[in-house]
Amino acid sequence: MQVARMSEDLAKLVDRGDIVAAVRAAQGLTPERVRPLLFGGGFMKDSKPYAEFISRWYQSLSSANLAPEIFKSSETTKS
């Protein structure tokens, strides 16, 4: 399956800390597409490179409409 392969590849780039290559690989993809590519392959080894990737990828988004989509489906909780 193509999605599983892409998920493995993007997640591997991020796990290796190759954030520049990961951001390049994610160019042109929507947040809905990136989310399963990053997190569809199982557990992340270390959250730090994932946070760095998301931050850099978010900054690279050219569409003002795409950037807010990253947070569209996140849930908030009240204490």
User: Is residue 18 domain-resident?
Assistant: yes
User: Is residue 22 domain-resident?
Assistant: yes
User: Is residue 10 domain-resident?
Assistant: yes
Is the pLDDT score of 75 beyond 90? no
Is the pLDDT score of 79 beyond 60? no
Is the pLDDT score of 6 beyond 80? no
User: Is residue 28 domain-resident?
Assistant: yes
Q: Which long-range contacts link 42-45 to residues 24+ away (Cβ below 8 Å)?
A: 44/11, 44/14, 44/15, 45/15
Helices 47-60 and 19-26: crossing angle, nearest 10°? 50
User: Is residue 76 domain-resident?
Assistant: no
Mean pLDDT value of segment 37-44: 77
Give the chain's domain count: 1
Tell me how far the alpha carbon of residue 76 is from its chain's centroid: 19
